[in-house]
Structure 1
Amino acid sequence: MPDLLLELRSEEIPARMQRKAAEDLKKLVTDALVEQGLAYEGARAYVTPRRLTLQVVGLPARQPDVEEERKGPRVGAPDAAIQGFLKSAGLNSIEEADIVADPKKGEFYVARIRREGRKTPAVLADIVPAVVRGFPWPKSMRWGAASAEPGSLRWVRPLQSILCTFGPETETPDVVPFEIDGIVASDETRGHRFLSQGPILVRSFEKYVEALEKSHVVLDLDERKRRIEADANTIAFAQGYEIVPDEGLLEEVGGLVEWPVVLIGSFDAAYLQVPPEVIRATIRANQKCFVLTKRSTGKLANKFILISNIEARDGGAAIVAGNERVVRARLSDARFFWETDQKPLPEFAGSSLKPLDQRLERLKALNIVFHEKLGTQAARIERIVSLARRIAPLAGADADIAARAATLAKADLVTEMVGEFPELQGLMGRYYALAQGEDASVAAAIEEHYKPQGPSDSVPSSAVSVALALADKLDTLAGFWAIDEKPTGSKDPFALRRAALGVIRLILENGLRVRLGELIGAALDALPVSSDKTAVSADLLSFIADRLTVYLRDKGARHDLIAAVFALDGQDDLTAAVRRVEALGTFLETDDGANLLAGYRRAVNILRIEEKKDGRTFSGGVDASLVLARGEEQEKVLVEALRVANESVREAIAREDFEAAMRALAALRPAVDAFFDAVTVNADDADLRANRLRTLDALRLATLTVADFGVIGG
């Protein structure tokens, strides 16, 4: 079957847009093909800095014919209706229509229209221009004289040529005939901007890839990344170094070159006095280069790997020298920032304040706004200090040390280094805190209080770091909830879902016992805005519970069991709640658990039916004297079993022995089974009936001590 080959060649596409653009091209074209009745066997998109390519294999040569029935007016309808029907159906006379009888509606006309499928190239000639004109680039541009005309083509960078062929892989394909703003589709492309000459005539996808390779273009982004990684590791290893892994940089560099050539450069070893993270950030951000470590020591080396897009005649010596000059200048700046940040600020000449404390005072003086409704960064620091003091004992930290860490946590935001490299906030605070003699736990907390920043990020374990990280995230969550800036749909501009997950992981992975409701209340009390604190706190707790559900579900827990536990009031101790979920899951996997759940459901169903019938509830407790006087033996056994189980469950819950609580419930199973086998709930005696229904309510209440069995599925 024939294949489609489409290439859109342009000026350089930004690396960050490339992979998504390839996915979009594939989806837009294949969706349009399927919509036109053109099924295909497979499709794959490719991208380089200067081209988007799509291969679709196994397309039919033409669309299938389509038969359609179009219902018309009734026989004998007015002539205007008849003529309208003929026009819409494409019929010359009413005799060309069939007459169909309907038992209810009588006879009416039906047009049976057969549409012959078009040849696939003709369909493609409609699809491709529509896709190109409507392509969803995050940013696009117009260019040239035509850019002044309304509706002119927009593309990420000026589009230079379009290759579009259709035909069998073993034969010379046909060019799909179309043009877009003067760019006519052809069967030609060009190779590398500098390392190739003249057009390339394309006969098949396989030959296309081979020709590009000969013209110094590696079509597949993942293949370019593989070559970069392999060559870089080879060069580094040969000289006794190892590359510091950086998948993000590898992806970006793979999108900057069509023909990757790996080179190695160096810088003055004196710059190694600057923190390694700063060197890496400088070289990465400014030159898109990889840093190296010495294989013998694991320490950062004064070497870096750069990726060129050409094979230079001098072996890359000039390219390396040029990169070294830029790296040297950037590292000189970084060293200047590093040294300046540790010196007293001019306005504090002669002050006894340490450099980081001076930065804090500058932050206050600058009156930097955190959020227009939530006040300044300085005010926020005061809130975090207060909250960190409160959390510290719960995390096993000294309150004064936690408060000191919270005081300095944001001071590095106004350092020269963080101003240049915002991604180093926290880390630079740690370096500067250690340099001025702060407690090691304070320095660590300053760096770690932003963590965890995602599901795969590490979680602080130091008590001071945990206290500060929790305080920071709870202040953020409480603040934005108080001003009703909550996540909506896919929008979460303040990363509140991430903050909530951070709170959950900090608590669970450190086994903390905290009442989140109380901490949220304290955070709300400190805010400079008024709100319904009870409602806001309840809503925020519900949000955190939802994120916990997602977190536990990803770890294999059943969502209905999580819901069953959180349906109970006061479940703001996440560590205890999770232990309860685990115990409930283990219990329900046993025969006793499964059968008790079945008994619970039978009891609740009977109660629901009878309460609806009587228009009242059967609560208030069982009349034990009535059971003793006139009840069945099995009824007496169940009532006594419920009394014992309730006492045992309450005691177990009080000491947080959830496994024992489940065992106490499991002991009910024989009595429940026997009750339903031998006792008629809807007895003729009205008093006995009401008391037995209250017994079923007592069973429901007994299970509700550990979870709401009513929301458990299965």
Structure 2
Amino acid sequence: MTSLLVELQTEELPPKALKKLSEAFAQNLTKSLASQHFLADGSRTTVYGSPRRLAALVTNVLAKSPDEAFKQKLVPVKVGLDAEGNATPALLKKMKALGIDADVKSLKQVDDGKNVQLFYEGIRPGVELAHGLQTALEAAAFNLPIPKVMHYQLADGETTVSFVRPAKHLVVLYGEDVVPVSLLGLKADRLTSGHRFHTHELIAIKSADGYEEQMMTEAKVMPSFAKRREKIVHDVVEGARAIHGEAIMPEDLIDEVTALTEWPVIYESSFEEEFLKVPQECLILTMQQNQKYFAVQDEKGRLMNRFFLVSQLKAKDGGDAISAGNARVVRARLADAKFFYDQDKLQTLESRIPLLKNVVYHNKLGTQAERVERVKAIAAKVADLIGANRDQAVRAAQLAKVDLLTLMVGEFPELQGIMGEYYALHDGEDEEVALAIREHYQPRFAGDALPSTPVSLAVALADKLETLSGLFGIGQMPTGDKDPFALRRHALGVLRMLIEKNLNVAITDLVNIGYEAMKEVANVRDARDELLAFFEDRLRVMFKDKGYSAQEVDAVLATHPTMVLDVPARLQAVRAFAQLPEAEALAAANKRIGNILKKTVPETDVVDVALFDSEAEKALYEALCVAEPKAKAHYEAGHYTDLLKGLAPMKAPVDCFFEDVMVNVEDARVRANRLALLWRLHRTMNMVAELSRLAK
């Protein structure tokens, strides 16, 4: 089988988008070829992507797509054939439009339930690769997740085309042969550009299968994004190990550096030790964001004055000049960071508090100063609920946003909270308060660590509750995939703290506290019901992601549990209940009882045994009298699995009841008595979860 190579060589592509662009280009190309039946069994696609090229190698590609049988509906018989069975003008017109040349007698008649239709059955001949590939190329190039399209003119000075970056060369080889296709005003060829500095002439690609090796040896380009990334990680890790350190390598930074280089070469450099007096988070962020360097820490996690950089050049002098040049550049950057830090320390956080009134938080919710007062009020009440130090929580809440006014956070917004801790400690604030300033933003993202102390938890909860209460109160809820204020993340953070930190606090209490702090703000309405529903939706997503079924989650959340901490135990209990032999019948009975009670709700749950006129009623009542107190005891103790498993003996009396007893009889007293019995049974069964949601 023959391989197909497609390479689109361009000007420098946006580095943060390169990985997705290259994967989408190859995926779109392969998908289109497959849909046109050009791929034989065992076909595989290799993705290539470098700063100046998107490419893909597809193996086992057919030179011509196979002939295929097809069936085409034409028109109803009554429209296509006249009384003598000859073709009508309508049928002939339809066949001509479809390119079908066939004797009308060869057409099939099929009854589709509405009409008898005329069908043509034939063989559609395959097409040459060049024809199908033209379609595939356009699908590959014009369906990319392009951050921003560029419009540029072709060499003729008249034609304008649009792509992520101007395209320079198009290589399309089937085996060793060029396929005559075109894209973005370029005709396919075998010529491409090599490394910008190590090569000067165009490279003629000899064959599809030899593309990667030839690019490595002649073009000095490593076209595989994955292999470049692997080399960068390996060389940086080994370099750090050689100096008894460990490289700090965030995934996003690795991807970005990989997307900036076609021929990665790693060099080591350093900076003066005096800069290590600046908080290491500042230095690391400066190196990563401004220079794309990999910082290094020692075995104790302390930042070293060494770093690694990724270059495109294999220097003749071993890289001394490159290392020295980058040392000069980073020195200037770190000097700026040191200046910001030194200047910030000249003013205490407390002295900056009045300046928060000059910072607008939201045009409908006031300034940061007003917001801080609300967060303080919420933090005080939350601290009381969770047993945190109230005074420390209020103090941390008062100082939590002040570092937004510092030079360092102004330059690096990612350091908000982090710098607040450093400045608070410098000012002599309590360590618990300083830590809470750092941690009150947590969790910042999915999987992030939670605040570590009760004081930090109180302030973090307060900060998120104020945001949610305020923005919901002015109608700024998330819609669809739009969530500009990250409210889903805030809600998920609240839920994670309640569950993972074992906070025995009702979500309704927290929502009420948030509302109380917001209700004096003009234009803020009471949105507690919407906010509680939002929390419930986040719980639903959270536990589905943890592997619970939609039925299990819906059954638990249908009872609207206010103690979020209980939800995992309830879900485990529901899962255990579902394994019981009696579970299916009890869930179905629960659904039946629910449907009955929807029509008529009894005025009381008092059951009068004197009104029983069957053994089935009596047996169910006696079984309920045994199960009900046990269920209440298990519920109060939080033994939810024991509660649901304890319902198993109810199956037999429930089944007998519905077999032998009619609930809605004419006698009003008997009917009400039976409804009261079912009401109590339904209430007992649904303490932990609404079991009807488990019914099939």
When normalised by structure 1's length, the TM-score is: 0.87
1:375-396 superposed Cα distances (whole Å, 9 cap, x missing partner):
2222211111110011001222
Letter in 2 for 1:46: Y
Task: Check if 1:165 corresponds to 2:173.
Answer: yes
User: CA distance change for structure 1 residues 129 and 542 in 2, over 3 Å: closer, same or farther?
Assistant: closer
Shift of 1:280: 0.6
Contact 1:262 1:307 in 2 (8 A): yes
Select which of 540, 558, 561 maps to 2:531. 540
- Give the 5 Å matches for 1:202-351: 202-214=205-217, 215-295=219-299, 297-344=300-347
- Counterpart of 2:21 in structure 1 is 21
SS in 2 for 1:438: coil
DSSP-derived class of the 1:153 partner = strand
Match of 2:543 among 539, 548, 552: 552
Q: How much has 1:504 moved relative to structure 2?
A: 0.7
Q: Work out whether 1:518 is the aligned partner of 2:509.
A: yes
Secondary structure, aligned partner of 1:486: coil
Greater alpha carbon shift after TM alignment, 642-651 vs 599-608: 599-608
Task: Between 494-503 and 653-662, report the one with greater CA deviation.
Answer: 653-662
* Residue identity in the other structure for 1:282: T
1:564 to partner: Cα distance: 2.4
The 1:147/1:432 distance shift into structure 2, 3 A limit, reads: farther
Alignment counterpart, residue 47 of structure 2, candidates 34, 45, 48: 45
Deviation at 1:145, TM superposition (A): 6.0
1:350 corresponding residue in structure 2 = none
- Structure 1 residues 442 and 115: alpha-carbon distance in aligned structure 2, compared to 1, 3 A threshold: same
**Quick check: 2:417–2:441 contact (8 Å CA) kept in 1?**
yes
- CA distance in 2 between counterparts of 1:607 and 1:386 reads 43
Is residue 2:409 matched to residue 1:418? yes
For residues 109-168 of structure 1, give each alpha carbon's deviation from its aligned partner in whole angstroms, at most 9, with x where no partner exists: 766665422101222134324643554421132335669746x2222222111101113x
Task: Label 1:618 to 1:129 Cα distance change in 2 as closer, same or farther (>3 A).
Answer: closer
Q: Which amino acid aligns with 1:706?
A: V
Q: Cα 1:531–1:667, aligned 2, differ >3 Å: closer, same or farther?
A: farther
How far has the Cα of 1:643 moved from its partner?
2.7
Q: How does 1:378-527 map to 2 (within 5 A)?
A: 378-527=369-518
Please state whether the residue corresponding to 1:52 is helix, strand or coil: strand
- Conserved 8 A contact 1:433-1:443: yes
User: How has the CA–CA distance of structure 1 residues 141 and 664 changed in structure 2, closer, same or farther, with 3 Å as cutoff?
Assistant: closer
Write out per-residue CA displacement over residues 68-95 of structure 1, whole angstroms, 9 at most, x where no aligned residue.
5352443239975356335424467x96
Question: Whole-Å Cα distance in 1 between the matches of residues 391 and 345 of structure 2?
Answer: 24
Q: Tell me the C-alpha RMSD between the 2 structures.
A: 3.2
Stretch moving more, 372-381 or 132-141: 132-141
Q: State how 1:575-594 maps to structure 2 within 5 Å.
A: 575-589=565-579, 591=580, 594=581
User: In 1, Cα distance between the equivalents of 2:593 and 2:436?
Assistant: 57
Q: What residue is the counterpart of 1:349 in the other structure?
A: none
Match of 2:146 in 1: 137
- Taking the aligned partners of 2:462 and 2:212, their CA distance within structure 1 comes to 56
Residue 643 in structure 1 maps to residue 625 in structure 2? yes
Q: Percent identity?
A: 37
Residues 28, 136 of structure 2: 8 Å contact kept: no
CA distance in 1, matches of 2:617, 2:73: 70
Quote the residue 1:30 is aligned against.
Answer: 30
Deviation at 1:374, TM superposition (A): 2.3
Measured in 2, the distance between the counterparts of 1:89 and 1:662 equals 64
Match 1:377 to one of 368, 381, 385: 368
Alpha-carbon distance between aligned partners in 1 of 2:591 and 2:334, rounded to the nearest angstrom:
72
Distance 1:690 1:481, change over 3 A: closer
Asked if the contact 1:515/1:573 (under 8 Å) is kept, the reply is yes
The residue type equivalent to 1:262 in the other structure is I
Deviations 1:669-700 (A, max 9, x none): 565467678x5557999676875565344322
Where structure 2 has 5 or more consecutive residues not aligned to the other structure, the ranges are none
Distance 1:553 1:403 in 2: 36
**Number of aligned positions between the proteins:** 682
User: Which letter maps to 1:342?
Assistant: K
Which residue in 2 is equivalent to 1:625?
609
What one-letter code is carried by the residue in structure 1 that aligns with 2:136?
I
CA deviation string 1:1-35 (max 9, x = no partner):
22210001112112101111012112222232233
SS in 2 for 1:154: strand
Query: Alpha-carbon deviation of 1:266?
Result: 0.9
Q: 1:478 to 1:333 in 2, by over 3 A?
A: same
1:602 counterpart residue number: 589
**Per-residue deviation, 1:356:** 0.8
Question: C-alpha deviations, 1:462-492, integer Å up to 9, x for none?
Answer: 0110001001111111222222222222222
2 CA distance for matches of 1:238 and 1:656? 55
Matching residue within 72, 75, 81 for 1:75 = 81
Deviates more, 1:73-82 or 1:20-29: 73-82
- In structure 2, the CA distance between the partners of 1:207 and 1:332, relative to structure 1 (3 Å rule), is same
In 2, Cα distance between the equivalents of 1:705 and 1:201? 74
Q: Could you say if the C-alpha distance between residues 78 and 469 of structure 1 is closer, same or farther in structure 2, counting changes exceeding 3 Å?
A: same
Secondary structure (helix, strand or coil) at the match of 1:3 reads: strand
How far apart in 1 are the matches of 2:380 and 2:680?
44
Distance 1:467 1:80, change over 3 A: same
Asked if the contact 2:393/2:455 (under 8 Å) is kept, the reply is yes
Normalized against structure 2, the TM-score is what?
0.89
Range with greater deviation from structure 2 (515-524 or 106-115): 106-115
Which of 59, 78, 89 is residue 57 of structure 1 equivalent to?
A: 59
Amino acid of the structure 1 residue aligned with 2:260: L
Q: Secondary structure at the match of 1:58?
A: strand
Residue 484 of structure 1: SS of its match in structure 2? coil
**SS of match in other structure, 1:143:** strand
C-alpha distance 274-532 of structure 1, shift in aligned 2 (>3 A): closer
Tell me: CA distance 1:147–1:640, structure 2 relative to 1, closer, same or farther (3 Å). farther
Gaps of 5+ in 1: 168-172, 345-354
What is the rounded CA distance, in whole Å, between the counterparts of 1:530 and 1:409 in structure 2? 26
Q: 1:101 to 1:30 in 2, by over 3 A?
A: closer
Of the three residues 103, 125, 131, the one matched with 1:122 is 131
